[in-house]
Amino acid sequence: MLEKSENLNDYLDNHYIHRSNWLRAAVLGANDGILSTASIAIGVTAASGMREAIVLATLAGLVAGALSMAAGEYVSVSSQTDIEKADIERERQELSEMPEIELQRLAEIYEKRGLTKETALQVALEFTEHDALGAHVRDELGITEISQAKPMQAALASGAAFTIGGLLPFMVTLFLPLESMEYSLYGSALLFLAILGTLAARTGGSGIGKAVMRITFWGTVAMGLTALVGYLFHVNVN
């Protein structure tokens, strides 16, 4: 019996859904880091031929973007957590005030999922006896341990990923020739985005080709529009 339980745990470990929270934040942060800093650098390069201005603008964008990304993730995910806590507290109150109605509601949920009316009621009764609040939180509200919001995890993953992603185009502005800077930034950013799409797809268990095409296409659009703005305003930064 113990061996079967261990085999079941190993089987569940092979699934990818438990990675969804931190993977979403990390991919968002890294993608934004690469795109934001590369786009800033391309835009400033198009408007100015001075390396110092390009490096300074890119560094400022990197620092501000990483802090903004981490803070934004924390605030937004915390708001989601507040909503979840409020719903859980409301469910706790409803269970206290009208347990019969809540039991019937739970049975109806199971019946809609394919159980007979009698079986659904029996399942609802057993779950209620074991952990009524947990059953309603999971099956009525749809909140599980995997999907539950984790503000600090999201903030750290997103901020760190943005920093790593942003450092890549920043290094390009430091060391590659100024004459071909725009092309170097564009090419390297597409390469970094393709690598990110591949890593994200492999980590999440999805198709690599589709992920790479999606991330590089929108990256091209973002950098192209930023370069266009730089050309249109073509201001020399002294």
* 3-state SS track over 62-86: HHHHHHHHHHHHHHHHHHHHHHHHH
Q: Which of 43-57, 118-132, 195-209 has the lowest mean pLDDT?
A: 195-209
Reported confidence tier of residue 59, pLDDT bands at 50, 70, 90: very high
Give the span between the Cα atoms of 209 and 218, in whole angstroms. Answer: 15
Average pLDDT over residues 145-161: 79
Reported confidence tier of residue 2, pLDDT bands at 50, 70, 90: very low
Evaluate whether 42 touches 226 at the Cβ level (below 8 Å).
yes
Which value, to the nearest 10 degrees, does the dihedral of the CA atoms of residues 88, 91, 97, 102 take?
Answer: -150
Average pLDDT over residues 161-186: 90
- How much is the pLDDT for 17? 47
Highest mean pLDDT among 38-52, 64-78, 191-205, 212-226 belongs to 64-78
> Any idea what DSSP says for residue 17?
G
Give the span between the Cα atoms of 90 and 48, in whole angstroms. Answer: 58
pTM: 0.68
pLDDT surpassing 60 at residue 1? no
- How much is the pLDDT for 204? 65
Compute the half-sphere exposure of residue 51: CA atoms within 13 Å on the CB side of its CA: 12
- How much is the pLDDT for 8? 47
pLDDT surpassing 70 at residue 54? yes
Average pLDDT over residues 51-70: 91
% the chain with pLDDT above 90: 17
pLDDT surpassing 50 at residue 236? no
Q: What is the pLDDT of residues 189-200, one digit of tens each?
A: 888 888 888 887
Q: Which of 68-72, 125-129, 227-231 has the lowest mean pLDDT?
A: 227-231
Compute the half-sphere exposure of residue 151: CA atoms within 13 Å on the CB side of its CA: 13
Reported confidence tier of residue 73, pLDDT bands at 50, 70, 90: confident
